[in-house]
Amino acid sequence: MDKRFIIFYFVAIISTNLIAEVASFSPLSKDFIEWRNRVVEHSACSIQQLPKLNLTTDASLNMTDDETVVFEGNGYIPPPFDKSHIKSMSNATRILRLTASSDEEPLPEKYDFRDYYKSSHVKNQGSHGTCWAHSAIGCLESYISKEENLLRDFSENHLVNRAGFVWGFDDGGNDDMATAYLARWEGPVAEESDPYLSKVNSTNQVPIRNVQQVVMIPSKSDYLDHDFIKKALLKFGTLSSAMYYNSAYYKSSTDAHYYHTTDTPEYSNHAILVVGWDDNFPSNSFKTVAPGNGAYIVKNSYGSSFGIDGYFYVSYYDDTLFFEGATAFIAPEPVNKLGRIYDYTPYGIVSSLGYKKSLALCGTMFTADDDDELAASSIYFLAPNISYTMSVYTNCSDNTNPESGKLAYSKSGISEYAGYETIYFDNTVNIVKGSRFSIVFSLDSPDYYYPIPVEQNVDGYLTNAVSASAQSFIRGGNNWWFSWTDLYNEYGDEGVDVCIKAFTKAKATETSEVRVPYEWLDQYPEIISAAAGDYEAAANSVAANGLYVYENYLVGLDPTAADSKFTADIVFTNDVPQILWEPRLNPKVGQRQGIRWYTVYGKKHLDDEAWEIVDRGHEDEYNFFKVGVELP
C-alpha cells in the first residue's frame, strides 16, 4: 500500500476525532410537554401572564389553619427533565442500599411517620399554587425530625418568592425548583422570619441549614411495584411527590382518593408529602372500589380541617402517585460547614446532555475570588450506579480546556442514588485569588446515555438562565484526541451550563449567627402562640412546663472571643466545661431562671471524625465548637 495513502488515512482519522463529537439533549418529559401545551400554548399567553389571585387582600392574610380549602390542584408543574428512565433500572438497582435492614427483614404492613417521630403541623396553602413548596419544605422538616429529633418550621413563603424562575406566587412549581433553591444556599429560612402570605419582602434572609444532598426516588413500573418506595420511606422518613388530585375522586367519609381512567391519565397537578402506607386499607373505602386493598398515607397542605386532621389516603392503584417518582430532601448541614460557593447554575437541573454512549465528560471552570481552599464539589447524578472520577485542576492556562491546569486532586466512586450530591475532598486544594481552576467529572453511565446535568432555558418554564464562554465544557471520551466543547459556543442562546458547583473550606475566623433561643422554641408552636408570639415569655413558659430541649450549634471561632457573634464565659462545674452565652434570655438578678447553660465540645479540624469534650484549660486548642444547650 502506498505510504502516502497510509499517512493521509491516519491524518484524516485524527483530524476527524479532534473535532468534538456532537452531543444531544435528553427528551423533555411527556407530562411537562402536555402541561405546556395545555396551560401555556392553549391559553395564548405566557406563564407570567396567567391570571393571579390578589395576595394582599385581608382575606388572604388572615387565613387560618382551620379554613376549608376548595382547591383542585394546579399548584404543581411537571418538571421538564424526564426521570422516567430511572424506573427502567433493575429492581436491585432501584432500591440499592435504601435501607440496610429492610433487605433482610419483611416490610411492615403499616408505617406512619407520626407513630415514630415528631411531625410539623399541617399547613394551609389557601387558594394559592404553593403545594410544591409545602411538600418540599415538609419533607426537609421531617428528615430533621427523624435524624435529629428536632422539630423545625421553615418558610414556604421564602421558597416560593425566591425560587428565581420569574413566576408569580400562584404559578406553581416542583421539587427540581426547590432543589435548586436549596442547593444554591438560598434557604431554608425560619417561618417566623418570612411567614406565609405575609407582606415581608423575602430578601436578606439568612438560611438556617445548607442542603447538600437530594435523592430522586424512582418511578413505579406498575401499581404494586412499591417495595422500594416503602424502603425509601423507612430510610428517609417522608417523600415529596405529586399526584392528580380532583375532588370528584375523593371520598370525604373515608378521607380517601383514588384516580383511575381507561384513557391516558392526567398529568399530576398537586404536590403532597407521603408519610407512610397501610397495606390493609380497604379497597371499598374509595368512591370507585379499587382492585385491591392498600393505600399511601399522605399529608396535605389544605389545613387541618381537610381529611383526618389534614391527612388522607391515596390508593396503591392510583394512576399518578409515584408514577413520576418522588424526592427526598436530606442531609441538611450547619451553615458554616463549608465556606464559599462557586456556581453558574442557580436554577439547577433542567435538562441533560449525552453522546448516545455510556461515557461522557463535563467540566466547569471558575475564577478564584480569594486565596482559599477547595473542600467539596457537587453534581447531579442522573441515575444510580454511575461510576465517576472527579478531578480538580488549578492554575488553568487555556480557557478552552478545563484540563489545562495542574491536576491537584482526584476522587473516584459510584453514585449510590440518582439526585443532587456533594462530594467532599479528603484533602483540601489551595487556590490563588484571580487564578482559574476547574472541576471535571468523567461519568460512566451504562444505563443512561444523557448523564451530563445542565441548566437550560426551556420555553414556558425557564427564561432567565444566562451562560458565558469559558465556563462549561463537555466531551465524549477520555482520550487525548477528543476535544472539549465550550457549551456557550454551541448553546449560548439557550443559557446552557453544566450543573457543577465548587465549595471552599469554612474558615475558622468566620462565625455564623447562633439564633438564641428561637430555634428551640419553634418546636413548641402552641407555647409561642399562647405567649402571643413573645419568645421571651414563651421561654419562661417552656421552663415552667418542665420541658427539656437540647440543641447543637456549630460555632466557628473561639466563642469567648470579643469579635464572636455572641460572647460567652466558659465556666466549670464539677470539672465539666460549660459556657454562658450573651445575650441571655430574660435574666433575673439572683436567679438562674432565664440563663441558658451549654456544654462545650471541640474539634481541631472541622472534618475530624469525633467531637471531644473541651478539657479544662485547653479550650484554645480547638477551632470549632459544638455546644450542647440546656434550658433550665
553 DSSP 8-state letter: E
**Is the CB of residue 364 less than 8 Å from the CB of residue 472?**
yes
pLDDT single digits (tens) 107-145? 999 999 999 998 889 999 988 999 999 999 999 999 999
- Cα 424 to Cα 136, 212, 487, 535: the distances in Å are 25, 10, 26, 38
- 345: which 3 cell numbers? 447554575
Nearest to 362 by CA among 403, 395, 397, 398: 403
| Crossing angle between the packed helical segments 131-148 and 175-183, to the nearest 10 degrees | 60
What average pLDDT does this structure show over 247-262? 95
**Is the CB of residue 383 less than 8 Å from the CB of residue 89?**
yes
Is the model's pLDDT at 458 over the cut of 80?
A: yes
Is the model's pLDDT at 344 over the cut of 50?
A: yes
Better-predicted residue by pLDDT, 58 or 196: 196
Name beta bridge partners: 209. 334
| Maximum Cα–Cα distance across the chain | 103
Model confidence at 480, in pLDDT bands (50, 70, 90)? low
Least confidently predicted of 87-96, 410-419, 532-541, 557-566: 557-566
- For position 21, what pLDDT does the model report? 77
Q: How high does pLDDT run on average in the chain?
A: 78
What are the φ and ψ backbone dihedral angles of 243, each rounded to 5 degrees? Answer: -150, 165
What average pLDDT does this structure show over 215-238? 94
Amino acid at residue number 584: R
- List, in sequence order, every beta strand (DSSP E) within 162-244: 209-217, 239-243
Model confidence at 439, in pLDDT bands (50, 70, 90)? very high
What are the φ and ψ backbone dihedral angles of 576, each rounded to 5 degrees? Answer: -100, 120
Is the model's pLDDT at 570 over the cut of 50?
A: no
- For position 24, what pLDDT does the model report? 94
pTM: 0.77
φ/ψ region of 351 (left if φ > 0, alpha if ψ in -120 to 50, else beta) reads beta
Contacts of 319 (CB under 8 A, 6+ apart): 244, 259, 260, 261, 265
Better-predicted residue by pLDDT, 33 or 45: 33
- 509: which 3 cell numbers? 475566623
- For position 100, what pLDDT does the model report? 40
Nearest to 235 by CA among 97, 135, 136, 110: 97
Better-predicted residue by pLDDT, 356 or 7: 356
Model confidence at 182, in pLDDT bands (50, 70, 90)? very high
Cα of 429 vs its chain's centroid, Å: 26
Please state the domain extents for the chain. Answer: 46-329, 338-505, 518-630
What order of strands is seen across the sheet that includes strand 359-367? 406-414, 387-394, 436-444, 359-367, 472-475, 485-486
Is the model's pLDDT at 523 over the cut of 80?
A: no
CATH code 1.10.340.30 for 46-329: no
Model confidence at 532, in pLDDT bands (50, 70, 90)? confident
Model confidence at 250, in pLDDT bands (50, 70, 90)? very high
Is the model's pLDDT at 216 over the cut of 60?
A: yes
- List, in sequence order, every beta strand (DSSP E) within 405-448: 406-414, 418-431, 436-444
- For position 535, what pLDDT does the model report? 62
Is the model's pLDDT at 94 over the cut of 70?
A: no
pLDDT above 90 as % of the chain: 55
Better-predicted residue by pLDDT, 336 or 273: 273
Residue 141 to residue 139: CA distance in whole angstroms: 5
- For position 336, what pLDDT does the model report? 65
Residue 217 to residue 229: CA distance in whole angstroms: 8
Scored b (16 or more CB within 10 A) or e, 355-371 reads beebbbbbbbbbebeee
CATH code 2.60.120 for 338-505: yes
Better-predicted residue by pLDDT, 191 or 295: 295
- Cα 388 to Cα 361, 382, 442, 451, 477: the distances in Å are 9, 12, 5, 11, 13
Is the model's pLDDT at 510 over the cut of 60?
A: no
pLDDT single digits (tens) 69-87? 444 656 899 999 999 998 7
Better-predicted residue by pLDDT, 87 or 67: 87
pLDDT above 70 as % of the chain: 69
The alpha carbon dihedral of 311, 314, 319, 324 has a sign of: positive
In this structure, the number of other CB atoms found within 10 A of the CB of residue 329 comes to 30
Is the model's pLDDT at 579 over the cut of 50?
A: no
Model confidence at 191, in pLDDT bands (50, 70, 90)? confident
- For position 315, what pLDDT does the model report? 98
